[in-house]
Structure 1
């Protein structure tokens, strides 16, 4: 039996790495296939804790998703 102060350490999440930092890819509003991976089925942007992007690239990603929405490359909401 474990001590009452010690939590159970069975689950250990893996460290997520930012895809954009590793691959050095540019985020562009015209790359709809790339941007659609960071938007859920309701048309909302996925948070950093789900995507694993760093704060800097999450800001760039949000800006480019908004640009793509304004010129109708991505939908604002799903049907």
Structure 2
């Protein structure tokens, strides 16, 4: 009786049918420049963490290169380690 009216609030499963592709392979990019901070910001979330491959669609090889470029940019001060967006 009362159990018939219970509805659970869960997010509906949305399947993304778009084909994921590696933008580096598609454009023939061989080197990721760590000095290009605006480009690297596309692979970093609001907190400053590197986005995973399943979200960016990059291949394993270029995901490693992106992560290394982000770390180098952080080390020389082009990218922040963390941001103040959580405050």
TM bracket, shorter-chain basis: 0.7 to 0.9
Correspondence 1:65 to 2:66: no
Q: Which sections of structure 2, spanning at least 5 residues, go unmatched? A: 1-14
Structure 2 counterpart of 1:76: 81
CA offset digits 1:46-75 (Å, max 9, x no partner): 000000000000000000000000000000
Correspondence 1:45 to 2:47: no
Correspondence 1:54 to 2:67: no
CA offset digits 1:14-62 (Å, max 9, x no partner): 2201000001223110011110000001100000000000000000000
Indicate the SS of the match to 1:15. Answer: coil
Q: Which sections of structure 1, spanning at least 5 residues, go unmatched? A: 1-10
CA distance in 2, matches of 1:73, 1:12: 34
Q: Over the residues paired in the alignment, what is the CA RMSD in angstroms?
A: 1.5
The list of structure 1 runs, each at least 4 consecutive aligned residues, that deviate by more than 2 angstroms after superposition, is: none
Quickly say closer, same or farther: Cα 1:52–1:12, change in 2 above 3 A.
Answer: closer
Structure 2 counterpart of 1:36: 41
